[in-house]
Every structure is written in C-alpha cells, then in structure tokens.
Amino acid sequence: MNNDRAHIFNAGPAVLPFEALQKASKAVLNYNGLGLSLIEMSHRSKEFEAVHLEAISNLKEIYNIPADYEIIFLQGGASLQFAMIPMNFLKQGETAHYVDTGTWSTKAYKEAKNFGEVKVIATSEDKKYTYIPKNIPDEKCSYLHITSNNTIRGTQYFNFPKIKNSPLICDMSSDILSRQVNISDFDMIYAGAQKNAGPSGVTIVIIKKTFLESSACKSAYLNYKTHSKENSLYNTPCTFATYVMGEVFKWIKSIGGLDEVEKRNREKAKLLYDCIENSNGFYRAPVEKNDRSWMNVPYKLPTEELEAKFLKEASLKRFFGLKGHRSIGGVRASLYNACPLESVQALVSFMKEFKKNN
C-alpha cells in the first residue's frame, strides 16, 4: 500500500487501484510520449481506438463473456439505464417486473412506470430492506429487473433468481467485477463504473445479442442497437473514463482475475463483520446475516452522538467516506475491489479502540 494514501471507504466515486491512477496521471500529461494528453486526442484516433478496443477485450476475458453478448460503453450513469431499459424493452400490452430492494431499485421501477406497465413482484420493504427477497416468481413479462448489490442498504444477492420465462436484467452498479458471475444467467447487466470499474462518466452494458435486437426504441441515441452498431463510438464518449476503466481491467488481470478479487473481497468483509459481531452489541449491522454485502457495510453505534463522535475521530485519522447515506444515517464502509486489506485492518483497529474508550 502507498503510504501517502488515506483509507478510502467512499461509496462512489470510490477508491481506485493506485497503479491505474499512476498510469492516468501520466496519460493526462503526455500520452505515450506523443506530446499530447489522452484527453486532447480525438476519440476517432488510432491511439484512442486501441484503448477502447483493449478495454472491451479485457472485460470479455475477465468475465468470460460468451460470444453471443455485446459490450457497450455508455454515458448518463446507471440512472439513464433506468429509463433506457423500459424505452427499449417494455413492450406494449406487457408488464415489466421489478424486485424492490430499496433506493436504487425503487428509483428504477419508478422511472420505468413513466413508460408502461410495471409490477413490483417482490420487495423487502416490510423489514426496511434488510434482506433479499427469496423465491422470486418466474412469470412471463417483458423483463425482470433486479439490483445485485444495494449500495445504501448493504444487501447483496448470493443466489440469483433462476428465471426461464422472461429476460433477466441486473443493475450491478455496486458489485460489478467483485466476484465471478455466470454471464449467461442474464440477458443484460449494467453498471455505472464509479465503484469497482473506474471513475464516473462511463456505464458498462453487457447484453445478449438476441435481446438487444428485440429493442423497439424510436430514439436513435437511446436505442442500444445504435451504440452496438457504432461500437460505442456513435458520439463522443468520455475518453478519460474509458481509459482509466481499461487500466482497472488490466489491474484485475494482473492480480489474478476475479478469483483473486473475490478472495480479497470475502476476507475484507469477514474482517469487518466479525468486528461488528464481536462487539457485544456496540456496533450493530442491521442486515440479515446471509444477505450481507461484501461491498457496502452499514452499521450503527449505540447513539447518534456516539456516531457523530466516531465519524469525527475517524476523519482525523484520514478515514474517508464512512458517513452513512443521508437517508439511513449511521456508518457505512464501502470495501470495493481497490480498497486494500490494510485499510480494513486499520478501520477494525480504530473501531476496537473507539469501543474501549467509549
């Protein structure tokens, strides 16, 4: 770990591999010694094309993406996907099904309602979104939408619904590339890059070609087919974000791919949840044990006063981003791929010390 680095637990934009930041800082000043910056280059130049194609090819390799899937890089964040998905795939006379696991999935179905019939077929609202609904009905519909990791509530799917009767779409914004997944289980996966994959400004879409072809969206820009045909260069992309994301993909390959990433993520999450569990109730994680996210760990202290004191002392020790989301309060530590084990060890030591003194 680089000694100048603070402990970064931001929920997104979030910690990135230091190697990728070093490469990016050089590329911004003088790309490959060409005498111009990466962000001064045309997105149609052969240099940027190489960056773009390499990023796509590395993502394919890391995730073992089958040949009948397309990779598209878009802008507008995951929030634009909330609208594009129904615009492209919610058919007239049909219904789209959503599983509501809080905040982002709620936003996704509320946006879809603007375009047609939507049904929430499962929800964990009854227990303040502290679990993942099981036994999700496999009914015929335009598509079923789930959110694999709930950034604010701290829940995560460890078994995806086995769906045969409709296409399955997954918002993986906050756990993309955090573990192995079987891409063929999904018709579409999407994610804003700014947690595990890169800086904000680029959105990854992995989509089955036959599903893509079924789009009926009338807008050229908002139709996935347009971007697929133009290899994600229909209009000017966020070249910087694509470059840094490409460097993050290279970093994932260099440490041993998703098996190694998953191993590290399990270890970090276990360390923090064990600390919470062994604190005799001083720290409390609200999420049901089997659904606890490896990525985002929300927890509470005995009083709001102690939480404020905890956050103040933590910030003096250069722990960044520990304040819980404004909608639920408390503390939240985001342990994305690039968060080093050392940062989690430092957080756990601080938590033990804080408990002893309070």
- Residue 171 binds ligand PMP (CB under 6 A): yes
> 296 phi and psi, to 5 degrees?
-125, 120
- Among 182, 192, 179, residue whose Cα is nearest residue 161: 182
Q: Which of 124, 142, 155, 174 binds ligand PMP (CB under 6 A)?
A: 174
* Piece of the chain touching ligand PMP by CB under 6 A; list 33-41, 170-178, 277-285, 349-357: 170-178
- Among 32, 59, 24, 75, residue whose Cα is nearest residue 240: 24
Q: Is 100 a catalytic residue?
A: no
* Closer residue to ligand PMP (CB): 150 or 228: 150
| Given 23, 175, 187, 195, the catalytic residue | 195
> 182 phi and psi, to 5 degrees?
-85, 105
Q: Which of 31, 104, 240, 350 binds ligand PMP (CB under 6 A)?
A: 104
Using CB under 6 A, count the residues that bind ligand PMP: 11
Q: Is 171 a catalytic residue?
A: yes
CA distances (Å), origin 46, targets 38, 49, 53, 269:
12, 5, 10, 42
- Residue 173 binds ligand PMP (CB under 6 A): yes
- Residue 102 binds ligand PMP (CB under 6 A): no
* Closer residue to ligand PMP (CB): 53 or 120: 120
* Closer residue to ligand PMP (CB): 104 or 273: 104
| Given 100, 104, 187, 355, the catalytic residue | 104
* Closer residue to ligand PMP (CB): 153 or 355: 153
- Residue 147 binds ligand PMP (CB under 6 A): yes
CA angle (335 as vertex; 331, 340 as ends), nearest 5: 125
Burial of residue 33, with CB atoms counted within 10 A of its CB: 0-12 exposed, 13-18 middle, 19 or more buried = exposed
Binding site for ligand PMP (CB under 6 A): 12, 77-79, 104, 147, 151, 171, 173-174, 192
